[in-house]
């Protein structure tokens, strides 16, 4: 099971949101590079990064910071936020990003998603951000009526290498992950799934691992780390 400590970047700082609300933003570290160093010191290699400025603006904003992080030895990055074209994908892959996460652009434009998967095989991940099983877009500001599972089934043969499935109602709340919904989705699809949103304790992580669902590739852990609800040493021992 891969465990992804999360870094969300806003205005060059390491922050977290609550339920995707930019009015409920908290800064945890002024320097994302310093935060990465802490994760690497504890042995983590897989890191989840979201350019929140990019998600809002529709273009890569924090590319220089991401490049500095990607140069750290042994780090495997999955990066999302503001990636709307093939050029942006190439920019990230060229600096060493392992998985480029498409969200709004890939969901709104299936042809773009398909072309991205063809041009960058094994490098494209898709973020499925949901409220009450319905997809939300544009930094979670645009709520659609599109059923998440129904959408995933329509793109299942495109070549998406990984799904990041986030329950927005849980994200940043420290109330526990929506494990049952994530497991239900994972059982019905063939694309490997990463659970995201609301992981609040070591017990949450253990519960996900203990289900032994073969299509669950990993877990993203964010706010619980920054709020000291999860100890990094204990977390690493579960990976």
Count the neighbouring beta carbons within 10 Å of the beta carbon of residue 10. 22
**Angle formed at CA 88 by CA 83 and CA 89, multiple of 5 degrees:** 85
Confidence class for position 172, pLDDT limits 50, 70, 90? low
From the list 183, 224, 185, the residue with the least C-alpha distance to 203 is 224
Q: In the numeric block, which tokens belong to residue 163?
A: 């799904």
From the list 149, 122, 121, the residue with the least C-alpha distance to 133 is 149
State the average pLDDT over residues 46-62: 90
State the average pLDDT over residues 115-143: 89
Higher pLDDT, residue 139 or 209: 209
Confidence class for position 163, pLDDT limits 50, 70, 90? very high
Q: Are the beta carbons of 80 and 102 closer than 8 angstroms?
A: yes
State the average pLDDT over residues 168-180: 69
SS3 145: strand
State the average pLDDT over residues 43-72: 92
The residue to which tokens 């994760």 are assigned: 39
Confidence class for position 157, pLDDT limits 50, 70, 90? very high
Residues tagged active-site: 8, 129
pLDDT of residue 175: 62
Distance CA 231, CA 217 (A): 21
State the average pLDDT over residues 181-199: 93
Confidence class for position 142, pLDDT limits 50, 70, 90? confident
The whole model's pTM is what? 0.92
State the average pLDDT over residues 135-159: 88
Higher pLDDT, residue 142 or 98: 98
- For the 2-237 domain, the top CATH level (class) is alpha beta
Percent of the chain clearing pLDDT 90 (strictly above) = 74
pLDDT of residue 140: 65
């Amino acid at each position: 099971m891969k465990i992804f400590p999360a870094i969300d970047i806003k205005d060059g700082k390491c922050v977290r949101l609550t339920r995707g609300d930019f009015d409920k933003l908290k800064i945890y570290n002024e320097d994302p590079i310093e935060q990465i160093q802490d994760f690497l010191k504890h042995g983590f290699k897989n890191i989840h990064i979201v350019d929140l400025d990019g998600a809002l603006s529709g273009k890569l904003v924090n590319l220089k910071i991401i490049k500095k992080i990607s140069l750290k030895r042994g780090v495997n990055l999955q990066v999302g936020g503001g990636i709307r074209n093939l050029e942006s994908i190439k920019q990230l892959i060229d600096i060493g990003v392992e998985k480029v996460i498409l969200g709004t652009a890939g969901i709104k434009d299936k042809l773009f998603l398909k072309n991205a998967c063809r041009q960058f095989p094994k490098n494209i991940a898709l973020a499925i951000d949901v409220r009450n099983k319905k997809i939300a877009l544009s930094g979670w500001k645009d709520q659609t009526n599109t059923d998440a599972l129904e959408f995933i089934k329509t793109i299942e043969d495109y070549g998406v290498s990984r799904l990041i499935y986030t329950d927005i109602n849980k994200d940043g709340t420290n109330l526990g992950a929506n494990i049952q919904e994530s497991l239900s989705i994972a059982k019905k699809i063939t694309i490997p799934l990463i659970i995201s949103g609301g992981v609040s304790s070591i017990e949450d992580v253990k519960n996900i691992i203990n289900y032994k669902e073969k299509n669950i590739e990993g877990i993203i852990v964010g706010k619980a780390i920054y709020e000291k609800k999860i100890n990094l040493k204990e977390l690493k021992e579960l990976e």
